[in-house]
Structure 1
């Protein structure tokens, strides 16, 4: 897999993660249906936020590592 394709997949993963976090916040704060579900609604919104964090955080660290590595290689040349 080329580096450009990997970076694209990581950016897509970040977008999915942020979307899941925003969905979880919306469900928890503004959805009356989740309130009517009680504890189950809280668990559903918390799982959206948790999976969003799983998708977004490691990819941000890896993309930062790639960008720092690319910058250091550019300075050497």
Structure 2
């Protein structure tokens, strides 16, 4: 996979993870959802949050890649002087 493709996949994973976390949280705090589905609704909401957290883990990897690229640019610009 190319560098651009990896970054695109990481960005998509981050956005999808954050959306799932927000969705799961919204479902847990809504009274109608919990009353209608009971314990299964709570489990589904918690599962959304858990999967969202797993998908948002690549944020650390993505930020590390960005910092490494910034450090490369900084090193190149200061070694040429």
Which sections of structure 2, spanning at least 5 residues, go unmatched? 77-81
Equivalent residue runs for 1:1-77 within 5 Å: 1-30=1-30, 32-56=32-56, 58-77=57-76
TM-score of the pair, normalised by structure 2: 0.84
- Alpha-carbon separation, structure 2, partners of 1:19 and 1:44: 15
- Alpha-carbon separation, structure 2, partners of 1:2 and 1:72: 20
Larger of the two Rg values belongs to structure: 2
Q: CA deviation at 1:31?
A: 5.4
